[in-house]
Chain A
Amino acid sequence: MENSKVNSTEPRIGVFVCHCGVNIGGVVDVPKVVEYAKTLPGVVYAEENLYTCSEEGLSKIKGAIREYGLNRVVVASCTPRTHEPLFRSACEDAGLNQYLFEMANIREQCSWVHSHEPEKATEKAKDIVRMTVAKARLLEPEEEAEIAVADSALIVGAGITGMTTAVSLARQGFRIYLVEKEPEVGGLVRRLNALYPTMSDPAEILNPLIEQVKSSRNIQLLTSTGVTSVRGYVGNFEVTALRGKTEELKLNVGTIVVATGAEAFDPEGRYGYRRLAGVITQLQLERMLRDGELGKPKSVVMIQCVGSREEGRPYCSRICCMNAIKNALIIKEKSPETDVCILYRDIQAYGRNYEDYYKKAREAGVIFIMYDKDKPPEVSRSGIRLKVSVVNAFMHQEVTLGADMVVLSTPLVQHESGRDLARVLRVPLGSDGFFMEAHAKLRPVDFATDGIFVCGTAQSPKNIPESIAQAYGAASKAGILMASGKVRAEAITAMVNEEICRGCGRCEEVCEFNAIGVEDTGGAKMTAKVMEAICKGCGVCAVACPTGAITMRHFTTKQINAMLEAALTPGRG
């Protein structure tokens, strides 16, 4: 900049107070606030605007920066959550670092909420301007570092979800490492006999997908491989993987997708499982049906919600109802004489065509009996057969059923390797054990950690179309980062004063992002170092620091103290 005053250290603050039409000006005495602002230390210029965010208002800011050599700008108007970027870029246009700008929210947090008290609103607006100017005096220019994003991705899990993600990203031209812990790909779907509600053979959808994975030049498939460590951050992850028992692999990737799926809950000890012959799980039944080992049983009883919707696993596993109905229909088709009875708590038939499928099972003669959670069925041996007693929740009457086979519908649960991966990636698991996305509604496939995504049943139980939709979601989110090739790092990060830091490591303990750590830098003592590309700027470490060595850019301790003084001691400005 030609103007030597810009960016100089002595504060020269310009204050622009917005009428926002009548939104502010109709309640707050704006000219009075402008006159008051002029009296505040550091303020060299103040004016009022009908709309500061208008083309005219913005050019007035730019003009005043040049004309009055402003090196800090305060706009007193609406919330920074919507208009801050606009005013920041106006400052940048005039050669002022965007972090030398600060907003005073006198609309949402003043005129709009005190519209019947104009005098009090005016006093409050003056207070807010005074607090903002106090912070503005201490603002520092900040830079947002640009981080390069490598055009390669690690996808963990080669089930239907992981393979879909891999193929999608490979087609977009990215290099993919597809890591699978098992010797074979296909995950849980590979173990199924048929898929609901189409009754199709899983191989029909798995085989073409496997073919695409194996024939893609962009995909390197690594089976019998586990991820053992991940270092770095978005754009530059250094991954260590172990293939077999000994072969260590080093992979550098820009993004990571977790598609590790889930496993079926083991109902050990429930309803005589592993104790009574003939008590099996739905997965075991799938294998029998596939291998043609069903025979002609007289009666099959299925029990739903075995291990789900109870303490410890309070969630509905979403797929078990339809899966039981599917297997009941298959049994009825193969052996129409067989009685099939499903003992359920509630039937979840929420997907497209699912309700018809449920109706079809009823029409085929499958019997549905509702039981109460507090009165679960009891399974015992009766001669060479099994006996199931259940209280019908509608009739409040006990029913006893003879059974040759009792099939337990158990929920999907997180597996041990998923829990290990969560630790390696430092991403959270929910209280249900599944990977927890960044936001339950708005960010369903993101983690709070940039560059790492989740999809499929790793995130929660879901059916195949839902898993595939998430796979495409994760692929496109990862693809956006890799296609642009760069990301902007947060400018609001922690700063360590190495002279005061004594290397105790409290900051490292409280940081959720592993963005700060005590390092031996070869000096006289160990000190904390901030990895600025990973730091999110929450400030938790700054408070944890016992020596006060850490502060946050743009929210420094000095700035907040100045705001506090301004808020509570009007006289001192």
Chain B
Amino acid sequence: MTTEPKIVAFTCNWCSYAGADLAGTSRIQYPANVRIIRLMCSGRVDPTWILKAFELGADGVLVSGCHPQDCHYISGNEKAEERVNSTKRLLRLLGLETDRLRLEWISASEGARFAEVIKDFTEKLSRMGPTPFRSKRGV
């Protein structure tokens, strides 16, 4: 159990959460290590939450929203992209691999892609090993 990476996924309500639902409806299997937090828009994802997730021992954080041009709120996904990029710079300063934070556009019709992203992210995080913050917290 201890070696399986922990992933927190922030998904928007309209595309990516629905994509995760479709993975379920289609019975596509993926690792059970992701915990999804539904928001209305990926533009709601506050960089402090991402940092908090890492502080609490998450090995990876996924921010997932609608494809460019498809945002239910016009440009929330673009804002999410800017914020993820700036948060990556902060991670670098903290000495954390920037690949631990991942941004993906997953639409409501991309159930298979959602599962694929979780699988791929899990493999990559496993190769990286647990986050240094995890051992400090003793989780």
State the A residues within 8 Å of B (CB): 79-81, 105, 107-110, 112-117, 120-121, 123-124, 127-128, 131, 428, 448, 492, 510, 512-513, 536-540, 542-544, 552, 555, 557, 560-561, 563-565, 567-569
Contacts and interface: CB of A to CB of B under 8 A. Distances in A.
A490 to B, nearest CB: 9
Contacts of B20: 108-109
Given A80-B38, A543-B43, A552-B40, A564 B75 contact: no
Given A536-B73, A538-B73, A542-B46, A112 B25 contact: yes
B113 interface: no
B5 interface: no
A557 B47 CA distance: 12
Contacts of B43: 538-540, 543
A555 B39 contact: yes
Given A567-B37, A568-B8, A543 B79 contact: yes
Contacts of A128: 35
A127 B36 CA distance: 10
Contact of B29 (A113, A552, A564, A565): A113
A113 B27 contact: yes
Report which residue of A116, A513, A564, A565 has the largest number of chain B beta carbons within 10 angstroms of its beta carbon.
A564
Interface of B: 6, 8, 13, 17-18, 20-25, 27-30, 32, 35-41, 43-47, 49, 52-53, 56-58, 72-76, 79, 83, 115, 139
Contact of A115 (B18, B29, B37): B29
Chain A interface secondary structure, helix, strand, loop or mixed?
helix
B37 A563 contact: yes
Chain B interface secondary structure, helix, strand, loop or mixed?
mixed
Contacts of B83: 543
17 contacts: A80-B38, A81-B18, A108-B24, A109-B24, A428-B74, A512-B74, A538-B73, A539-B40, A540-B79, A543-B47, A543-B83, A552-B44, A561-B49, A564-B52, A565-B56, A568-B53, A568-B56
Contact of A557 (B30, B41, B46, B53): B46
Report which residue of A124, A131, A448, A540 has the largest number of chain B beta carbons within 10 angstroms of its beta carbon.
A540
Contacts of B25: 108, 112
Contacts of A512: 73-76
Report which residue of B24, B29, B46, B83 has the largest number of chain A beta carbons within 10 angstroms of its beta carbon.
B24
Contacts of A510: 79
Contacts of A113: 23-24, 27-30, 32, 115
Contact of B139 (A81, A539, A557, A568): A568
Contact of B52 (A107, A123, A561): A561
A538 B24 contact: no
Given A448-B72, A448-B74, A536-B73, A560 B49 contact: yes
Contacts of B24: 79, 107-110, 112-113
